Structure 1
Amino acid sequence: MAEFDPSKKWVELHLHLDGAVRTETLLEVARRRGLSLPADTVDDLVPHVSMNNPGHIDDMFHAFHTLIPVLSGDHAAIRRIAYELCEDQAQQGVVYFEARYCPHLLTSNLTGESGDDPTAAEVVELVNAGLQQGSKDYNIQARSLLCAIREHPEWSHEMVELCGKYSSDGVVGLDLAGGKVGYKEDANLPHIKAFQDAQRLGVHRTIHAGEVGGPEIVEEAVTEMHAERIGHGYHVLDDEDLYQRLKKEGMHFEVCPVSSYMTGAVQTDFKQHPAKRFAQDGANFSLSSDDPRVFLTSLTRERKFVKENWGFDDALISTLNLNAARACFLPEADKARLVSHVQMLQGP
């Protein structure tokens, strides 16, 4: 691993690759492929692929329904968005990040050309190539997580296999995302089995839970699926016993402040956000931007947001950044080097 860039110190753990695509890139790819979009200029396209006002999580999925078909099946576009994400993150002063995505959602060939549709494995290879080249060109450390999707249990077993196959090529863990909760549904059983297999094989695990649905989703993620981190996790506070248990165990929560309001995952009363309770209790959590282009945000904006709305000071934000470094899915020796780098730059 190359030396960490001394000009960068921020760590981001919860970042969706397909939610970070530049609108300019989306428009260029659509034109090249001859695909139609609801607008012909960048400014006019932004409202169709983003949320500028608080709404519902379904509004977020509407944005993805517009942008994903443009990227799916296009080898050059898939590699390009991974590469450009490295540049965008480097400009934010990020030293290390983990980008998550579902390769199956990027396999569909919508151009009608035969024989060119990448497999899920080939999508992973394209993303790996883009992240590796971007890491080199922008002096940043980029890794990826593969997302199983709740609505598609038939993909989960292959996702675990891909995590294992590409573990030495930049893939550091497995995630579970999607709109439907799936708690105690038969369709959820393949996900549970896949994550149990992942634990047995030594694949790191994080799960979206407690954003949609209640604390039982968090408990299932931790108890049955052996999650090491929880994406969002806000509704864990609806079960005080569970929250206290996970806090004691040091469970890491990937908090995404702006998106939590935009999707309606939490109420819009700034004084009542679960992250304020996390901070008061000294719980283990960090800050991330989730889908920066969809929510018109960035890690820089997230830090400003928590300062202005939750009263987080620089010392707390530094602690949260160090929490992120300690919770990353790098191999232990590389993680220790990242933690030391962050500590050195942040000072005592």
Structure 2
Amino acid sequence: MTAAPRDKFSYKVELHIHLDGAIRSETILDISNGDKDAVSRIAYEFCEDCSRSGIRYVEVRYNPHLLSNTLDKPDFARERGDFSPRDVVATVCDALEKGGRDFNLTVNSILCCMTHRPEWSAEIVSLCREFQHRGVVAIDSAGQDFEPGKDPLLCRHKKAFKEAYDHGIHRTVHAGENGPYEGVQEALDHMYAERIGHGYHVTDSPALYSRCKKERVHFEICPISSIITGACPVDIMKHPLIGFANDGVNFSLNTDDPIILDNDLAGDYVLAGKMGLSDEQIIKSIFNAARASFATEEQKKNLLADLAEVYGDY
């Protein structure tokens, strides 16, 4: 894909990118999953790749169980030397901290629950609490969109998100991507979501769309991903992002899974431009991302100051 000029949007912010969807292709060939050195390398290289793309602040998300080598093994059966979900989080935190220093960017992380594995969610909340001081800033729910009233697994996830809310852990939820708009409403009302991953189908409900505009709900929009996955029409001029931008909806632009989709953030900016978004609207989305980030107050203050120095006041 054609990338935007590197100096056009030279200071970027990304809120929706999956660590296991951003592994370098050569790294995939070199390593196997579920090993400390492999996970450390993936996370460290992620920082370098972000820096090369002009990303100065990023929140990367992943499910620690899927990167462990104890998948489906009960706690009591984990033998010495195994690489547990907790080990994964500690290793990723170490690598992101080093990568952030070495490549001059701020990296925080989000731990994902998986919709089809509700038995993991309690441990995810526990790990979020334990590693809050290491840059784990939020909990997410990823996988298939929930269908409220039809999904028997939803109640266990909602319990985890209530615990996250009670303990001051930020919340974002994949909703309204390929599933119905009711998933967005469920995320807001019963999972205490502060941000929505994707959320394109919110436009199917005028009342909910109006509510989200009024409440300044932040949508993590992934333009290229949304078309490739079939979440949005192939005709880019029918993409809900156009309405979001023109209606002043609170959104950011993101890549989602760049190694799988063969995109980068500059490419998503280019696609947004082809949809008719102006440079000013794209820059505003970068400021939106900074303000909606789960960064610490000090990180956010510094980030917004840096953005203002590069782009002016937005």
TM-score (normalised: structure 1): 0.83
Q: Is 1:230 the equivalent of 2:191?
A: no
Relative to structure 1, the CA distance from residue 129 to residue 8 in structure 2 (aligned partners, 3 Å threshold; closer, same or farther) is farther
User: Who is 1:167 aligned against?
Assistant: 132
> Where in structure 2 are the equivalents of 1:225-264 lying within 5 Å?
225-264=191-230
Q: How does 1:51-200 map onto structure 2 within 5 Å?
A: 70-71=32-33, 73-108=34-69, 115-179=80-144, 181-184=146-149, 185-200=151-166
Runs (4+) of structure 1 exceeding 6 A deviation are none
1:320 aligns with 2:285: yes
Partner of 2:75: none
1:61 counterpart residue number:
none
How far off is 1:8 after superposition? 5.6
Q: Report SS of the residue matched to 1:275.
A: helix
Q: CA contact under 8 A between 1:135 and 1:142: conserved in structure 2?
A: yes
> Structure 2 CA distance, aligned partners of 1:330 and 1:180?
26
Aligned partner of 1:26 in structure 2 is 28
Range with bigger deviation, 88-97 or 334-343:
334-343
CA distance in 2, matches of 1:134, 1:275: 32
Q: Is the 8 A contact 1:109 1:116 kept in 2?
A: no
Deviates more, 1:296-305 or 1:329-338: 329-338
Distance in 2 separating the partners of 1:282 and 1:160: 33
Match of 2:16 in 1: 14
The offset of 1:108, in angstroms, is 2.3
Q: Which amino acid aligns with 1:78?
A: V
1:335 to 300, 306, 310: 300
Q: Distance in 2 between matches of 1:108 and 1:217?
A: 32
Q: 1:32 — aligned with what?
A: none
Counterpart Cα distance in 1 of 2:284 and 2:121: 34
Amino acid at match of 1:129: D
Give me the TM-score of the superposition, normalised by structure 2: 0.92
Counterpart amino acid of residue 200 in structure 2: Y
Say if 1:121 and 1:326 are closer, same or farther in 2 by CA, change over 3 A: same
User: Is the contact between residue 74 and residue 109 of structure 1 (CA under 8 Å) also seen in structure 2?
Assistant: no
Change over 3 Å in CA distance of 1:105–1:265 after alignment to 2: same
The AA in structure 2 aligned to 1:237 is T
Which blocks of at least 5 consecutive residues in structure 1 are unaligned?
A: 1-6, 30-69
Q: Which residue is equivalent to 1:37? A: none
Q: Deviations over 1:285-317 (max 9, x none)?
A: 010000011000001111111112x01121111
Q: Alpha-carbon deviation of 1:212? A: 2.3
Deviation track 1:26-70 (CA, whole Å, cap 9, x = no partner) reads: 1011xxxxxxxxxxxxxxxxxxxxxxxxxxxxxxxxxxxxxxxx3
Aligned equivalent of 1:306, options 272, 275, 280 = 272
- In structure 2, which of residues 293, 311, 314 is the aligned counterpart of residue 346 of structure 1? 311
Shift of 1:181: 2.4
The answer (yes or no) to whether the contact 2:145–2:177 under 8 Å persists in 1 is: no
Conserved 8 A contact 1:8-1:90: no
SS in 1 for 2:259: coil
Which amino acid is the alignment partner of residue 134 of structure 2? D
TM-fit CA distance, 1:16: 0.2
Secondary structure of 1:100's aligned partner:
strand
Corresponding residue number in structure 2 for 1:216: 182
Contact conserved, 2:70 with 2:82, CA < 8 A, in 1? yes
- Counterpart in 1 of 2:256? 290
Q: Structure 2 CA distance, aligned partners of 1:217 and 1:163? A: 23
Give, in whole Å, the separation in 1 of the partners of 2:191 and 2:114.
14
5+ residue gaps, structure 2, are 1-8, 72-78
Q: Which residue is equivalent to 2:5?
A: none
Aligned to 2:170, the other structure's residue is in SS state: coil
